[in-house]
Structure 1
């Protein structure tokens, strides 16, 4: 897939279909973008599971934090990545070990790694990069 441009319907379909989101790189700091986006997603009715090894066992915005994707005790539909783009490959590797596989891996703004995306897509996982669901939801899913 060409990740230079996404059809609005591709993004909207993803945002309508996912219910449970693992947020990799979640921060307890209310001033961090990951915390703001997590709060927004929770307010929109998504189940958001924060991932941050330094915060494991604590809570962020009332949600239990896990150290890694493999520690989550339930399936996730989407993995939202707030880590530098060089870490996207390791997130994809972790995602491929999950059963069932997530349906989407989403790289936040400025997070893009086409090689990692190709590996995820070869496994049947949809990929979005360099986008933010907190921007796309109000733009594409009015109300």
Structure 2
């Protein structure tokens, strides 16, 4: 049975690098990452302006992470997506998730061609809540 990519990612990707994660509690990136962390996912902040977010060491760029990353979650403008997708491919991520209003078809296709699952213009938190029954089983 083929799962929707959102559900497949939520079921199989346990370590999430959040590109653009801010320590500002009022930013959507913080709210989503805090929720996902509380739901049991490992969060790795990616932001050159941060040293630590949510108790996790922050990295300036994806390429500096020294551990396996399952999902790259993008809180960046669409024009920054191709660079992040290239990095996601280089580090061996399984999936790329572009948050609400983040769409870049060319980069998404490049990720798919490299074997990554891709979600665009969706909120990770909202989708996690939507699939909560399926995730509990």
Task: With the length of structure 1 as denominator, give the TM-score of the two structures.
Answer: 0.89
Matched, 1:109 2:100: yes
Q: For residues 78-93 of structure 1, what are the structure 2 equivalents within 5 Å?
A: 78-93=71-86
8 Å contact from structure 2 (residues 44, 58) kept in 1: yes
State the shift of 1:113 in Å.
0.3
Structure 1: unaligned runs, 5 residues or longer: 1-6
| Separation in 1, partners of 2:113, 2:30 | 31
8 Å contact from structure 1 (residues 8, 140) kept in 2: no
8 Å contact from structure 2 (residues 5, 118) kept in 1: no
8 Å contact from structure 2 (residues 5, 117) kept in 1: no
| Separation in 2, partners of 1:110, 1:8 | 23
Query: For this pair of structures, how many residues does the alignment match?
Result: 133
| Separation in 1, partners of 2:113, 2:124 | 23
- Aligned counterpart, 1:3: none
Task: With the length of structure 2 as denominator, give the TM-score of the two structures.
Answer: 0.92
8 Å contact from structure 2 (residues 5, 119) kept in 1: no
The list of structure 1 runs, each at least 4 consecutive aligned residues, that deviate by more than 4 angstroms after superposition, is none
